[in-house]
Chains A and B, each alone.
Chain A
Amino acid sequence: MFRPVKLTRLTIQAPEDRISAVMAVLGDLRLLHLIRVEETHLGHLGYVAHIDTSLLEHYDSLLARANRLLRDLGPAGPSPGIRKVPQPDKAVFRLEEDLAHIETEALRPLEQKKKAKNAISEHEALIARLQLLEPAKIDLDRLHDLRYVTWRAGLIPEENLNKLEQSLVGTHHTLIPVGRKEQRVVLMAMSLKKDEKALLRALKSAFWDPLELPPGIHGTIGTALDQLSAELENLKTGLAGLDTEGAELTRKHGARLKYLREEILLARQLLKAQAKFGQIDHTYLLTGWIPVALFEELKKRILKATSGKVLVERVDPKDIKEVRSGILKIPILFNNPMLVRPFERLTTLYGTPSYEELEPTVFLAVSFLLLFGMMFGDVGHGAILCGIGYYVFRKMYRYIDYGIILMECGVSSMIFGLLYGSVFGLEDLIPALWMHPMAEINHFMVMSAFLGIGIISLGLILNLINVIRQHRYGELLSTSGLAGALLYWLGVGLVARYLLSGGLSPLEVIFAKVAAGALIILMILQRPVRAVLAQRRTGEKWRHLPPGLGGTILESFIEVLDDLLRYLANTVSFVRVAAFALTHAGLFIAVFSLADMVQNVHGQGFFYWITIILGNIVIIALEGIVVSIQTLRLEYYEFFSKFFRGGGKPFQPLLEEKL
C-alpha cells in the first residue's frame, strides 16, 4: 500500500514459430510493461522486430467488416470480456469463418434496408423541392412538351434577382418568382431554346441553386406530390418490415458479433505489440517489467504453451546497470485497496511517484477526506454528495473513480456533520458530538493549525524515509531534511508548551536558543561544507577555499530563511480549514435569514422552504467546489511539497490501450 508493486525485469527468447503462443499467454496475463527492445543496448545491436503486416492487414479488414455489421445491426449493451486471449496467427482463420457466416445471413437484408432508407430520403428531398414549386401550379407535362422554350426551376439569393434580370436584357426570357425560402427566391426561369446557354450562364453567375426534378414526374405539382407521398408511405412500410428482420438478426448475432470484435481488437493489439520486440534471424526477444509475484506463474504457462522451447529469465533491478545509474526508470504499478484507488488520479495529477520513493496515495486519501469533512461537515449535504457519487458510480462508467471519491467525501461530511450537530444547516435537530464550529471559533482555529502541524510533520517524516531509502544522506542536514524537521518540531513544542502552561522556564529558553541556533548554523553551512568535501573527493589539493564559497554561504542563508518562513506559512495555511467550516455555517445563517425575510414578505411557508432548498443547492454546488479546490491545494502545496518528488514512469500494461 505504501509502496508500488514490486517489479522484476523479464526477458523472453522465443523461436519464431512459438512467438504467437507466447503473445497469447502474455495477453491473457496482461500485467506486463513492455520495453521497446530497440531502445535498449540489444536494439543498437540490431535486434529489431517487425510487425507481421500482412496478418495485421487481415485483422484490419476483419475489424472493418465487424464494425460495419455492428453499426448496421446496432446491438446494445457493453462489450463482453474476453475469456481466452486468441493466438493471432491461428485465431484469424476462425474469426474469418465466423464473420463470413454472419455476413451471409445479414448482408442481404442490411443492403435492402440501406436502399430503402436512401429511397425514402430521396423521396423526402423531392417532395420538399416540389413543395417549393407548388404555388406556381405548374403542369410539368406541358412544360416538358415545350418545343421552343427551355425552363429551369431553382433558388437565387434575393439581392441577385435585379442583377439577373438586367443580365438577361437582350435575351428573350421570363423570370417567375414562385416563393421565398431563407432569404432566397424560388424562381422559374424560361428562355428560348436557342438562348439556353446564355440563360444558364446568367443563372450560374447569380448563385443559382437548381431544383432538379427527375424525369419520372408527371402532371401538376399537386398530383405529383400525391403520387410521391403514396410511394413514400409504401417505402416506409417496407422499411418497417426490414427493421423487424434486422432486429431478429441483432438478437441472433449481436452478442457473438461483439465478442468477435473484441477478439479481433485484442489480436491486433498483440500484433502491434510486436513492434516492441527484438528479432534476430528466427529468434524473437522481448523484455519488460512484471510483478515479481506473477513471474513464476507466467514462466510456467509460457513453458507449457510452447512445450518448453522458450527461454524465460528474470533479472533483479539491482543487477541492471542502467537502473542503478538512473538511465532506466522502473515503472510504477500502484497497489492500493479499492477505496483508495480512485485517489491515484489526484496523485498522478501532481506527479507519478518514482519507484524508490514512498507511494503517497493512501496518505492523500486519508488527509483529503479528513480536511474535506472538516470544511464541509453536514449530515444532509454529505448524504446528497454520497447520493450523487452513487449515481455517478452506477451510471457513468467513465467517471467511476470520481463517483467513489464523491461517495467517500459524502461519508466524511456526514461524520463531521454528526460531530458538529448539523443537518442541512439546522443545528438543533441532533446534538453535536464534538462542537458547533460557530460557537467555538478560536478553539476550532487552533485545532486546525494543530491538524496542519500534524500533516506537515507527517510530510517531514515521509521525506526522511525517502531520503534514507534513496541514500540522499547529504539532505538530512538541509531545511527539508532532519535538521529542518527538528527545528520545526522544536518551534511547535515551544508553542504547545506556551499554550498549555503559559510561559517558558529560563532553562527551556536557553535550550531552545542553543538548539535552534545550532540547527540553523548547520543548515546554512551544510552546503558550503559539502562543496568543500566534494572538492577533496575529486582529489584537488585543499590549499584554497573553493571558488564562489562566499556566494554559496549567502545563497544558503537566504534559502534557509525562505524555507523556515515557508514552514510558518504552511502551518498558518491550515487555518483555512476552520475558516471554510465557518463559512459553511455562515452561509447557512445567510440562507435562513433570507428565508425568514421572504416569509415575512409573502407570509407563507412555501416560499420559506423554496428559499431554504435553493440556498442548500447553492451551498452544495458552490462550496463543494471551493472546498474541493482548497483541500487539493493544501494537499499539493502544504503536504506533497514536503516529501513528494515524482518523476516516475507509469506502468503500462499490455493491451491497456483500446483501439
Chain B
Amino acid sequence: MILAAARYAYPNAKVRGLRSRRLTAQDRHFLMEAKDFSSFLAYLATTPYGRVLPNLEEEKTDPWVLERLLARSLMEDYAKVTRSLRGQREQELVLALFSRFESENLKVLLRALFSGRGKQAVSRLLYPLGNLSALPWDDLWACNNPAEIADLLIRNPFGQALKHAIPQFNAQGRLFPLEMALDLSCFQRLKQAISGLRSKADRKAAKRILGPYVDILNILWVIRLKIHYGLSHEEIVNYSLPGGELLTLSYLHRLARAEDISSFLEQMPRSLQREVGEVREWEDFHTYLETWFLRLIARLFVGPPFHIGIEIAFLLEKEMELTGLITLLEAKAQGLSPDQTVKKLPMQFSGVAHV
C-alpha cells in the first residue's frame, strides 16, 4: 500500500488536476442549449477546450476540422499522464490505449493509399497525435502499398497484424480486413499490457475498467456488424475484441445469432440486462451503455486511489466527454434541437436520465 501510494501519488495528483478541467454542468447546459452552431462555438471557446480551437473569427469552422482539433486536448492529456507514470509497464498500458488513435490514423492512411489520395487531401481526418506516437509517420506516408507499411512496422504490433491480414486483403480486394486487423491488434496489445502489469492490484484495477469498456465495444460492434454490415455470426465472433470481462465468446456467439432486440437482450449477462433492459431501438444501446460505463468510472474515483485504474479511467472519461462534445457539435452543425440531441448523449452529459 505504501509502495503503491509512493508510486501513484504524483500521477494521481496529476490526473485529479487534469480532471478538474472537465466541462462543468453549467458548460454542458449552455452548450446543449446553444441556439445555433456559432453560439455553440462561441461558448465552447470559453471552456477549457477553447485553448485548442482556432481563431473562430479568422478561420473556417468546418465541423470535421474542429473534431480533430478538439481531440488535441485528449492527446495532450495522454502525453501528460504517460509522462507522470514512472513504471515502463504502466506507461505501456497507457500507450496501448493510445494506440487506438494511431490505428485510426493508419486507417486514414490506408484509405488514402487505396483511393490514390495524398496526405494533404486527408490531413483533416488525422488525429493530432503529437510526440507520443513513435511510429515513423513520414516514412509511412511514403509507402506505396499495405505490404510496405507492414514491413515498415514489423517491430510494432500493427506491422504483425497487417502482415497477417494481407492475404485476406488480397483475396477480398478491400481494406476491411486490414482495418479490422489494426483494431484487433490494439486490443490484443491492451490485453497483453494488462497481463504485463507488475502489481496484482494494478491488473485487477485495469481489468475492472477496461473489461467493461471492451464489453461495451463488443456489444456495439455486434450490433454494427450485424445490423449495418449484415455479417454472419461466424464472422462477428471472429471480429470480436479480446479482453472483455462479462461477455465471453459464447455470449458473443449467442448475441450474434439473436434475431431481434428482445432476444438480443435475453442473451446478455444478467448484470448487463439490468443496465440496458429499457432499450427499444438498436441505436439506443450506445447511450445506455455509455451511461452505465460513466457510472462505473465515477465509482472508481471515490474508491482507493493508488492504482493504474485511476489514470485509465480518467483518459476514458475524457474520451467520452470528447465523444459527447463531438456529437453535440455535429448536431449543432446540422441544426438539430436540444431535444433531438439529448437522446444521443449519455445521462452524465445531457443531465437527462434515460434509465
Contacts and interface: CB of A to CB of B under 8 A. Distances in A.
B164 A157 contact: yes
B218 to A, nearest CB: 12
A180 interface: no
B167 A210 contact: yes
B277 to A, nearest CB: 26
Interface in B186-209: 188
B263 interface: no
A163 B184 CA distance: 12
B242 A159 contact: yes
A243 interface: no
Contact of B233 (A160, A167, A183, A206): A167
Contacts of B231: 205
B28 interface: no
Nearest to A199: B234
Interface in B159-195: 160-161, 164-165, 167-168, 171-172, 177, 181, 188
Nearest to B249: A166
Contact of A183 (B160, B165, B239): B160
B168 A204 contact: yes
B-side interface size class: 20 to 34
A202 interface: yes
A162 B249 contact: yes
A198 interface: yes
Interface residues on A, range: 20 to 34
A209 interface: yes
A207 interface: yes
Interface string B222-264: 0000000001111111111010000001101100000000000
A557 interface: no
Given A163-B240, A198-B232, A206-B238, A169 B253 contact: yes
A208 interface: yes
A486 interface: no
A501 to B, nearest CB: 66
B343 to A, nearest CB: 32
A255 interface: no
Interface in A152-210: 157, 159-160, 162-164, 166-169, 171, 183-184, 198, 201-202, 204-210
Contact of A204 (B235, B237, B253): B235
B230 to A, nearest CB: 12
A115 to B, nearest CB: 24
Contacts of B172: 204
Interface core residue of A167, A201, A202 (most chain B CB under 10 Å): A167
B234 A167 contact: yes
B142 to A, nearest CB: 24
Given A159-B188, A207-B177, A167 B164 contact: no
Contacts of B249: 162-163, 166
A327 B264 CA distance: 80
Contacts of A162: 249
A167 B181 contact: no
A169 B250 contact: yes
A167 B238 contact: yes
A202 B164 contact: no
Given A159-B242, A166-B249, A169-B250, A205 B235 contact: yes
B235 A207 contact: no
A163 B168 CA distance: 17
Contacts of B240: 163
B239 A205 contact: yes
Contacts of A168: 234
**Residue among A166, A183, A205, A210 having the largest count of chain B Cβ atoms under 10 Å:** A205
Contacts of A157: 161, 164
Interface string A50-80: 0000000000000000000000000000000
A167 B253 contact: yes
B188 to A, nearest CB: 6
Given A169-B250, A198-B232, A163 B167 contact: no
B172 to A, nearest CB: 7
Nearest to A163: B238
Nearest to B167: A209
Contacts of A183: 160, 164
A331 B252 CA distance: 76
Contacts of A169: 250, 253
Interface string A132-162: 0000000000000000000000000101101
B253 A207 contact: no
Contacts of B167: 207-210
Contacts of B177: 207
A125 to B, nearest CB: 13
Interface in A191-244: 198, 201-202, 204-210
A162 B239 CA distance: 12
B164 A163 contact: no
A159 B188 CA distance: 8
Contacts of B250: 166, 169
Nearest to A169: B253
Nearest to A202: B234
Given A166-B253, A207-B181, A201 B234 contact: yes
A206 B167 CA distance: 11
B234 A209 contact: no
Contact of A207 (B164, B233, B252): B164
Contact of B234 (A184, A198, A207, A210): A198
Nearest to A162: B249
Nearest to A164: B238
Interface in A577-632: none
Interface string B129-166: 00000000000000000000000000000001100110
Contacts of B165: 207
B237 A166 contact: yes
Pairs of residues from A and B, 8 with the lowest C-beta to C-beta distance, nearest first? A205-B238, A167-B237, A202-B234, A205-B235, A209-B167, A166-B249, A167-B234, A206-B238
5 contacts: A159-B242, A163-B240, A204-B172, A205-B236, A207-B177
Given A202-B234, A204-B235, 15 more contacts: A159-B188, A160-B238, A163-B238, A167-B253, A169-B253, A171-B234, A183-B160, A183-B164, A201-B235, A205-B236, A205-B238, A205-B239, A207-B167, A208-B167, A210-B167
